[in-house]
Structure 1
């Protein structure tokens, strides 16, 4: 304002808080930072992965715990299971040398292996499977005039005759029995498990010139070890 002037002085208006973005001359920080989509996606993915890893770890821990408990229980059962008497643990010719002796010792006549088997060497499920492929007939000589019962065939010293088909299926039975015994850590008929039996069956199967219904199989019952 100058002396002698009638014009009123002019003043710059003061800024109200609502008129600007600053207080006391300082810029206010924004209430919300600008978002970074990539960073947010990365954080979200990291959280999901962490959650999955945690769940997998918990499930694996429980599974291993249950498995360990089950394994310890089985080991304890084996340790505490009473062993059979020493005379029952002899597997060298466990069925004796005659049908009568084999029955007294609790052995089973296996028509497919043509042998008396101790219970540890008798695969009941496999035996039933191959018996269903029959009927298996046996005769006193190659003329097939007199059929023998299984009881007669099971006697020591009895010579029986059967079709070649029986021998072929007998070989398959022996190989399957050997494989099942190996898988399950079972004992095995010493005859069926021998290389000599495998060689014999190999020769029979390779010879395709003999008809399956030919009466060529000469049989006698055996009393093998149970190895």
Structure 2
């Protein structure tokens, strides 16, 4: 009985090894022989798919459907554009715009960074005046509701904080992939603030810096940062001097 069992197991091992080797060889032989004639066709098909994919990608990009992703996280650039707030506080209010005290202008809600504006208002003891002598002070509520006269007078400290906070607002919009108002989005405003903050506050050399700063009524549109066009001088490579 034991001898028959050993013999049976031995026959099974031999049979199994033969079938395994034969099946592997058969599979490989069948695979390679069946694909020998298909290799040029597969290669051509792969190239065709690749070229087609490139064409679709080019069409997708050129049509403006693609916009770059900035950083990691959930913030993606999406196609965006809004109309102008108008030419008066009444029109701006009717168009749903908000007086943003960082740029000192009317902006669309999508371009309003309430969190940053709150920080700006808490940053200093700010006052707004209807005259350069500070005789007629304007309340924050009045500024928020009407935008104030044009111009509104503020301290130079207010203007400096305005510049630094507009840069922060622009940077936050870039990182989040959100739109920015056309006042801050324009490169000329960045250069204005850069020049103002770079000048030494020498009272004899720059007496105008002792005077109050003026903010004129500004009515903006709302657009993604990368949609704003750089100045012509920058495109021509003449932007090395202060001012561009």
TM-score surpassing 0.5? yes
For residues 124 and 201 of structure 2, the distance between their equivalents in structure 1, rounded to whole angstroms, comes to 22
SS at match of 1:191: helix
Which of residues 207, 217, 220 is equivalent to 2:216? 220
Structure 1 unaligned spans of 5+: 1-73, 75-88
How far did 1:100 drift?
1.5
For residues 162 and 106 of structure 2, the distance between their equivalents in structure 1, rounded to whole angstroms, comes to 15
Q: Structure 1 residues 114 and 210 mapped into 2: Cα distance closer, same or farther (>3 Å)?
A: farther
Partner residue, 1:168: 160
* 1:73-110 alpha-carbon deviations (Å, 9 max, x no partner): x9xxxxxxxxxxxxxx75131x2221112222222111
Instruction: Provide the TM-score with structure 2 as the length reference.
Output: 0.52
For residues 138 and 183 of structure 2, the distance between their equivalents in structure 1, rounded to whole angstroms, comes to 24
CA RMSD of the aligned region, Å? 2.4
How far did 1:150 drift?
3.5
How far did 1:208 drift?
2.6
For residues 169 and 160 of structure 1, the distance between their equivalents in structure 2, rounded to whole angstroms, comes to 16
CA contact (8 A) 1:121 1:226 kept: yes
Q: Structure 1 residues 116 and 217 mapped into 2: Cα distance closer, same or farther (>3 Å)?
A: same
Partner residue, 2:135: 145
CA contact (8 A) 1:152 1:158 kept: no
Instruction: Provide the TM-score with structure 1 as the length reference.
Output: 0.55
SS at match of 1:132: helix
Which of residues 114, 125, 130 is equivalent to 1:124? 114
Partner residue, 2:98: 108
Partner residue, 2:88: 98
| Bigger radius of gyration | 1
For residues 141 and 217 of structure 2, the distance between their equivalents in structure 1, rounded to whole angstroms, comes to 11
For residues 156 and 147 of structure 2, the distance between their equivalents in structure 1, rounded to whole angstroms, comes to 21
For residues 218 and 128 of structure 2, the distance between their equivalents in structure 1, rounded to whole angstroms, comes to 16
After superposition, residues 20-39 of structure 1 pair within 5 angstroms as none
CA contact (8 A) 2:131 2:152 kept: yes
CA contact (8 A) 1:97 1:156 kept: no
Residue 133 of structure 1 pairs with residue 123 of structure 2: yes
* 1:14-57 alpha-carbon deviations (Å, 9 max, x no partner): xxxxxxxxxxxxxxxxxxxxxxxxxxxxxxxxxxxxxxxxxxxx
